[in-house]
Amino acid sequence: MQKDSDFELFRDNYQRFLAEHVAPFYETWEEQGLIPRELWHKLGDNGFLCVDVPEEYGGFGAPIHYSQMLVQETAKAGFTALAVGIGGQSELVSPYIQNIGSEEQKQYWLPKMVSGEVVTAIAMTEANAGSDLQAIRTQAILDGDHYVVDGSKTFISNGHHADLIVLVAKTDPQARAKGISILLVDAHLDGVKKGRGLKKIGLHAQDTAELFFDQVHVPKNQLLGQEGHGFSYLMQELPRERLSISLMALGSIQGAIDITKEYVLERKAFGQALSQFQNTRFVLAQAQIKALAAEAFVERCKDLYSRNALSVTEVAALKCFITDTQCEVIDQLLQLFGGYGYMQEYPISRFFVDARVQKIYGGTNEIMKEIVARELLGK
């Protein structure tokens, strides 16, 4: 297969960007619980945000796999919290606006997202509604030229930095799925409040926050698509989100293998390198075998997505398989580091704690199995 030289150059440039602008500071950002706003501007200035946005909206119109590569490479370098942030902007919010937004919405928001001037968040989850999105209670009631929004959201990635919130709310509180709509909410409107930064067991540099909406007046023209169609839009766009999570998983597996290989070749025990022990060799070989299988599944789903043929069931199967594999492989690799693997100064520990949430967000793996089971066995 012929290599795309433009793509490889783009990847090399991004790897250099991570080495120069992220690696030296990432530990500090983890301690602060926040990636600085300045980095979003640098990402935009260097052309690393929403790269598949068409040129008429300020993007490059690059193929989608360019955007997907950025998420994978960020995770591979061990910066999963940043991968979640970039993925949220480029792989979640951007496609919603590109595919469903009005011309006015695209013209207004997309160029600012490409430049990094606007940071975005998608707000679905509530305290009592995670995977069961139909149970959300946040309301957006039409009153003249505005929707009046009341409610709260939790576990929102990019929550503190967000200038634009893609908000999932009930425009008909009596209905379930058919009462759900999506609004583009300017986070600077009166009544929008950002709560405390949530303390998590991993993704320490990712600003995850609670969001509160108290009588927020959102202009009617910021409704995304049609009223009452929100649930079907979510079903339409979730495959790209789950594919993005899968790319983070693959990158993390590959990155963890790289640093473990380096460690076992250098570290000695009982007078020989760890790489000489059969157990070490088999654990790493098994990890590599699983990485290759995972990569093949990812490439299949990327190809299907590029042809608008990726089904909800297939990407659910991928998300479940690859995130389970990620947690399993990284746990086994950490064991090869012994006590050092439990120390925060060793990057394998970050791969380990950052992996766990992958089986939860984007729809829990239990929900993914139910989706697959329904196709196999019926409801």
Q: Which residues are catalytic?
A: 241
* Residue 353: strand, helix, or coil: helix
Q: In angstroms, how far is CA 135 from the centroid of its own chain?
A: 23
| First-to-last C-alpha distance (Å) of the chain | 42
* DSSP labels, 45-69: HTT-SSTTS-GGGTS----HHHHHH
Question: Among 154, 131, 87, 128, which residue's Cα sits nearest to residue 364?
Answer: 131
Bridge pairing between strands 272-273 and 146-157: unpaired
Tracing tokens 């009153």 back to the chain, one arrives at: 143
How far is the C-alpha of 297 from the C-alpha of 308, rounded, in Å? 17
CA–CA separation, 166 and 7 (whole Å): 30
Distances (CA, A) of 315 to 29, 261, 356: 32, 30, 19
**Residues β-bridged to residue 181:** 169
